[in-house]
């Protein structure tokens, strides 16, 4: 399917949008809670904040900053060991990105993951050479839902003045908020871990049932 040629750029979230990583994320969360709090907590508590920076998520469970730092080290170390066996692309990810590029649309990945692990995830999804710009958690002072990552992606693409002709695609409320605050159009991905009801309050411009749906929406 050919992409609509009206978008200057499409910005994709990574976890839950291009990459199916929910099981990986939950296993790392459970391991971290068992290690530091000596018990597992409900998955729903973690799922409710997927899409925000990991350090911010963990701070909500730690008693102080020092414990949050230890939790982060535990999570990241465990993640490195099990990452590759649990990460897969969502159907249509590679084909959709390639169709956008062939239509002359710039593509960026805007993620709350750290760059090291984001690159590894993109590699597992065969997307290493398919995007123009990657903005990761360690590139910004404030992660999503702050608009800083989206604005930085536009700057690095050379499209700082083209936000209205840019589409931010993500599965979480934080993606939609960040895109809107940066002035882009927004599309909610319904194949990630968030229920539609959690996204409706954000009033995205478009609803996507599948990745290929990006190719059919118009500015």
Question: Choosing from 13, 15, 20, 175, which is the catalytic residue?
Answer: 13
Answer yes or no: 126 catalytic.
Answer: no
Strand, coil or helix: 206 = strand
d(CA 67, CA 63): 6
Strands 106-110, 9-12: pairing is: parallel
Q: Catalogue the E-assigned strands of 48-101.
A: 88-89
Q: What is the Cα–Cα distance from 32 to 210, expressed in whole angstroms?
A: 32
- Beta strand extents in the chain (DSSP E only): 9-12, 19-20, 88-89, 106-110, 133-135, 166-170, 185-189, 206-208
> What positions carry a catalytic annotation?
13
């Amino acid at each position: 399917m050919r992409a609509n040629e009206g978008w200057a750029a499409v910005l994709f979230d990574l976890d839950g949008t291009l990459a199916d990583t929910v099981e990986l994320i939950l296993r790392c969360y459970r391991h971290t809670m068992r290690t530091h709090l000596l018990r597992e907590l409900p998955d729903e508590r973690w799922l409710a904040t997927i899409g925000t920076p990991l350090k911010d998520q963990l701070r909500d469970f730690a008693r102080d900053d020092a414990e949050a730092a230890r939790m982060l080290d535990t999570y990241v170390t465990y993640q490195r060991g099990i990452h590759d066996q649990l990460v897969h692309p969502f159907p249509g990810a590679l084909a959709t990105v390639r169709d956008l590029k062939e239509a002359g649309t710039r593509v960026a990945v805007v993620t709350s993951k750290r760059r090291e692990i984001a690159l590894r995830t993109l590699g597992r999804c065969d997307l290493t050479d398919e995007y123009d710009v990657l903005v990761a958690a360690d590139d910004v002072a404030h992660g999503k839902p702050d608009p800083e990552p989206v604005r930085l992606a536009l700057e690095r693409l050379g499209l700082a003045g083209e936000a209205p002709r840019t589409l931010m695609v993500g599965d979480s409320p934080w993606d939609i908020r960040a895109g809107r605050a940066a002035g882009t159009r927004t599309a909610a991905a319904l194949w990630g871990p968030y229920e539609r009801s959690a996204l409706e309050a954000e009033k995205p411009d478009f609803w996507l049932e599948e990745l290929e749906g990006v190719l059919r929406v118009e500015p």
